[in-house]
């Protein structure tokens, strides 16, 4: 069954809100160049990603690193939304 974000229990990374965290569940149909760029950022299946900014540039936190991502990279990543999202001001939801 599809959820509001589109793909079963997963979602496109692009659809997460600022402060939401997801775990990479799969990559869309992308070429090796995109896969290599994501790996260079440390983004592989099972990687935790937090959305920090969406405009003017999509900014994510992966581990202790932050990356600005192109639209092409953002659209390639599908995540399972994590339940303990971190609000933009550091307040955890219950």
pTM of the model: 0.75
Q: What span, in angstroms and rounded, lies between the C-alpha atoms of 80 and 44? A: 13
- Of 64, 73, 62, which is closest to residue 23 (Cα–Cα)? 62
Question: What are 35-90's pLDDT values in tens digits?
Answer: 999 999 999 999 999 999 999 999 999 999 999 999 999 999 999 997 654 555 55
Domains of the chain, by residue range, sit at: 6-81
- Of 81, 26, 11, which is closest to residue 3 (Cα–Cα)? 11
Q: What's the pLDDT score for residue 4?
A: 40
- Of 20, 17, 24, which is closest to residue 41 (Cα–Cα)? 24
Query: Could you tell me the CATH superfamily of domain 6-81?
Result: Ferrous iron transport protein A (FeoA) (2.30.30.90)
- Of 36, 33, 17, 34, which is closest to residue 79 (Cα–Cα)? 17
């Amino acid at each position: 069954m599809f959820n509001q974000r589109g793909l079963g229990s997963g979602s496109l990374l692009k659809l997460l809100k600022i402060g939401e965290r997801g775990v990479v569940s799969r990559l869309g149909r992308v070429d090796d160049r995109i896969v290599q760029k994501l790996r260079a950022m440390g983004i592989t299946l099972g990687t935790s990603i937090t959305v920090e900014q969406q405009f003017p540039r999509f900014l994510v936190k992966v581990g202790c690193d932050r990356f600005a991502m192109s639209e092409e990279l953002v659209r390639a990543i599908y995540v399972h939304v994590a339940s303990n999202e971190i609000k933009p001001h550091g307040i955890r939801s219950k």
